[in-house]
Amino acid sequence: MKHILVCCNAGVSTSLLVQKLKREAELKGLDVAIEARPLADAVDHLNDADLVLLGPQIGYAQGSIQETTDVPVQVIDPDLYARADAAGILETVEL
């Protein structure tokens, strides 16, 4: 099972997106666990993930986060994030 960690500033808007991502992953038959965490908390859990997705509002942190882990860190496309397009987001990630 792959583990995706989705991060934003406070974890509120992303928690709604994660619910959609979980439903979409289930529909696609993907064997993934997806969780949301605020960035301040996520830094302690980066190495537990197979992929870290950042909300566009914290995309500025991608470089500094990537320096601290070997786990791939990707910024969610702003348009996909704004539409909460779970299918589109899952199509952009390598699992």
List the domain boundaries for the chain.
Answer: 2-91
What's the average model confidence in pLDDT over 2-27?
A: 90
Residue in 5, 7, 8, 42 annotated catalytic: 8
d(CA 81, CA 51): 17
Instruction: Inform me whether the pLDDT recorded for 95 exceeds 90.
Output: no
Residues ≥6 apart with Cβ < 8 Å to 82:
none
Q: Which residue's structure tokens are 């589109």?
A: 88
pTM of the entire predicted model: 0.93
Q: Which candidate, 22, 70, 30, 18, places its Cα nearest to that of 48?
A: 70
Instruction: Inform me whether the pLDDT recorded for 83 exceeds 70.
Output: yes
Q: Does domain 2-91 have CATH number 3.40.50.2300?
A: yes
Instruction: Inform me whether the pLDDT recorded for 11 exceeds 70.
Output: no
8 among known catalytic residues: yes
CB 79 within 8 A of CB 58: no
